[in-house]
Structure 1
Amino acid sequence: MGRPPRTDLAQSSVTFLRRFSGNSPLRPSRASALRRVAAVLLLAAAVALPCAVLYRAAVDATAPVYIPRARRPLLQWDPPPPPPVEVSAEDGDADPFPTDDLDSEDLRLELVLQEASMDNKTVILTTLNAAWASPGSVIDLFIDSFHRGVGTSSLLRHLVIVAFDWKAYKRCVKIHPYCFALTTEDVDFSEEKRFQTTGYLEMMWKRLDFLRLVLEKGYSFVFSDADIMWFRNPFPFFYSEGDFQIACDHYVGNAMDLRNVANGGFNYVKSNDQSIEFYKFWYSSRFRYPGYHDQDVFNFIKHDPYTADIGLTIKFLSTSYFGGICEPSRDLNKVCTMHANCCIGLQSKIHDLRIMMEDWRNYMSMPPSLKSFGALSWRVPQNCSLSLLSP
């Protein structure tokens, strides 16, 4: 029989003792001696057994313990993303963001800018009210142009839609991941704002002040009206040295010429001291020129000596690349954006924007040889008749 396991040592000692006690056939002297030996062995076992248990526990405590994968504690983790905003018909027109909670609004803006920002802290911004937000309206055409443009679909990842009212915000969160509700107390921006009306002017100046805030947060931006179709990625066509670059209703052929007639619906602005100071000056100039919108006031103050003192580098963007109904981009091989400017009335804009999109789809379906030949041109303006703008 082999040696018994260590854990059975005490039991073996007891058995040994029983065998050599009581009824032992040995002589009394030998039996007594063997009982003493058995007693010593029993005492040794009683001492050794607890020591063995403690040693085993100490060894086990230092050994690696396997934890099933599903139960292993996570040493590093990312907090889950916030749940998507859910809106329903029962929400009505109620605004979930109190207009007096400025800290909350500032935090929401910072979060959405961080999410949408490019690596160099640049975002793309557009504004939206309920009149332009309904299905099939301007905002749908705007987003569709990114999907159909050349190198533009990925730019949607950096687009923030700024909603002027709750209806526009509800529509935004259904169609786009980055939306911001710009609250304005006691002002309703949801209806269509006809050009140069009081509501239109208030909305334009509210927009300008918001853009100043984005610059102060350290974010550069491309601002685009939603009635601008994006057909090509514009970033390769911006000037590397310009602090403030703006599209034109009329371009005279020189990017530095102040005679260019600027259009505030599309601009690329770098966040720096010069641009922030200029936006403050621009906004404050509304009181010097009451009754004018931001675009007109810009065309006034671009000649102001203070603009030169600020040190802002202004570049005007050629209509060859950044065109519109006022002055179309003639070559579809070059066009980046087309604006439904010089156009009054929402339905007129929608009609001509749809024609633009049809023209672009036709161009994209052409073979390369016909594209390079320039066999296709815009069919607009149609409902956006320039004659309506004549005095």
Structure 2
Amino acid sequence: MAKPPRHTLTMPSAHPRGIPRRALPRAGAALFLVTLVGVALPMAVLHRAAVSRHSLEDPWGRYPLPLLAADDEEGAQGDDLDSEDLKLDRVLQKASMRDNTVILTTLNVAWASPGSVIDLFVDSFRSGVGTSSLLNHLVIIAFDGDAYRQCVKIHHYCFALGTEGVDFSEEKRFLTSGYLEMMWKRLDFLRLVLEKGYSFIFSDADIMWFRNPFPHFYPDGDLQIACDHYVGNSTDLRNIANGGFNYVKSNERTIEFYSFWYSSRLRYPGYHDQDVFNAIKHDPYVADIGLEIKFLSTAYFGGFCEPSRDLNKVCTMHANCCIGLRSKIHDLRIMMEDWRNYLSLPPSLKRLTTLSWRVPQNCSLSSQNQ
């Protein structure tokens, strides 16, 4: 098919470094001091006012920013003008691994309240095998102000992704217009992260991390994605992908694919990003750009749709195939209890294949059909 129009989010470039001051010549320095004292202070005030005015008129920093006191009103205004793009650059740089990989999740206030999904998500890293250090590379993307304020209470890398005129704060029921808008906003943000040169693991917050997933990723995959149903072959397009967990390397192929994926929402109105992915993975254009897709086995990356049966292998478990926040939280808490019970067992009992999850319960299809 013809190459679709590329969706581009234009961001201002980072500001260049300021011009260094010229030093006074050593010869005659003492004489200059006498004559300059009377004018130095007024000139400094005028210079500061001029630079401050330029800074306010030019928010992208083409002029050097003045050094102002923390309680200076001009300084507060200058801080407000610092672009969201630069803020994102800073948080990604701080959280990234040596190979420029970050772990990302998204959050709105419905999932952010104490004891809710985000607390369980962070707790799973702390309880997992070889996962606690990965919190140093996790960036939580907040969709609303309340979610951001809660994020900074529990985690050190948070980013506020505001959308003017759109309220993402309430629980978004599956396939409602608010849910779809939030999913596509998320996808476009992930494209931007790739364009900035960062690879990422994206994880929904209703996924519990029990083991470090990196040993189970494929070295030759551009985009590696979890499944609702895995047919047994990592390259088989019949695998039913789940967009809630994926590992994506930043390169020309993935950037092009994410642009194609995002633009494809117009071809499939009313569908969310996961359904659109499962449609466009067959498109000849994906093969033309050379994208290498790998599907992750549910033996390691499971969920309520198709659980990871062996607790000795499981890396992540997703509360997918589940509608409703209360049902998710109920079953996620039971899952965490099952995991802690497993960890408390001696090695000889851990090797038994009879160990299994007690979930799904409230998330089971039978309970949802009642």
Instruction: Find 1:356's aligned residue among 325, 330, 335.
Output: 335
Q: Residue 201 of structure 1 aligns with which residue?
A: 180
Relative to structure 1, the CA distance from residue 111 to residue 207 in structure 2 (aligned partners, 3 Å threshold; closer, same or farther) is same
From 194, 209, 225, the counterpart of 1:246: 225
Given candidates 115, 119, 133, the residue that maps to 2:112 is 133
Taking the aligned partners of 1:180 and 1:290, their CA distance within structure 2 comes to 29
Question: d(CA) in 2 for partners of 1:262 and 1:338?
Answer: 15
Change (3 A) 1:283 1:299: same
CA distance in 1, matches of 2:127, 2:279: 37
**Percent identity of equivalent pairs:** 82
Across the two proteins, how many residue pairs are aligned to each other? 293
Counterpart in the other structure of 2:196? 217
Tell me, in whole angstroms, the C-alpha distance in 1 between the residues paired with 2:169 and 2:200: 25
Match of 2:128 among 131, 149, 168: 149
**Following TM superposition, where does structure 1 have runs of at least 4 consecutive aligned residues deviating by more than 2 angstroms?**
387-390
Partner of 1:169: 148
Query: Following the alignment from structure 2 to structure 1, what is the Cα–Cα distance between the partners of residues 206 and 151?
Result: 16
CA distance in 1, matches of 2:93, 2:81: 18
1:112 match: secondary structure: helix
Amino acid at match of 2:329: I
Q: 1:252 to 1:206 in 2, by over 3 A?
A: same
Q: Aligned equivalents of 1:168 and 1:388: distance in 2?
A: 30
Residues 363 and 371 in structure 1, CA contact (< 8 A), matched pair in contact too: yes
Contact 1:342 1:389 in 2 (8 A): no
TM-score (norm 1): 0.73
Aligned to 1:261: 240
Going from structure 1 to structure 2, the CA distance change for 1:291 and 1:103 (only over 3 Å counts) comes to farther
Task: Rate the CA distance shift 1:102–1:246 in 2: closer, same or farther, 3 A.
Answer: farther
Aligned partner (choices 301, 304, 308) of residue 329 of structure 1? 308
Of the three residues 291, 313, 318, the one matched with 2:297 is: 318
CA contact (8 A) 2:362 2:368 kept: no
Pick 1 or 2: higher relative contact order, CA cutoff 8 A, min separation 6: 2
Q: Is the Cα contact below 8 Å between 1:193 and 1:199 reproduced in 2?
A: yes
The structure with the larger Rg is 1
8 Å contact from structure 1 (residues 328, 338) kept in 2:
yes
2:327 match: secondary structure: helix
Per-residue deviation at 1:388? 6.1
Aligned to 2:70: none
Q: Specify the SS of the correspondent of 1:183.
A: coil
Distance of 2:97 and 2:219 partners within structure 1? 17
Q: 1:242 to 1:183 in 2, by over 3 A?
A: same
In the alignment, is residue 234 of structure 1 matched against residue 213 of structure 2? yes
Give the alignment's TM-score, normalised by structure 2: 0.77
On the 8 A contact 1:326/1:386 being kept in 2, the answer is no
Q: Measure, in 2, the Cα distance between the counterparts of 1:386 and 1:223.
A: 26
Asked if structure 1 preserves the Cα contact closer than 8 Å seen for 2:112 and 2:118, the reply is yes
Matched AA of 2:286: T
* Whole-angstrom CA distance in 2 between matches of 1:322 and 1:388: 24
Report the Cα offset of residue 375 of structure 1: 3.5
Q: For 1:342, which of 321, 324, 335 is the aligned residue?
A: 321
Structure 2: runs of 5 or more not aligned:
1-75
Task: Give the Å deviation of 1:376.
Answer: 1.7
Structure 1 unaligned spans of 5+:
1-96
Aligned counterparts, 1:178-193, within 5 A: 178-193=157-172
More helix by share: 1
TM-fit CA distance, 1:374: 2.6
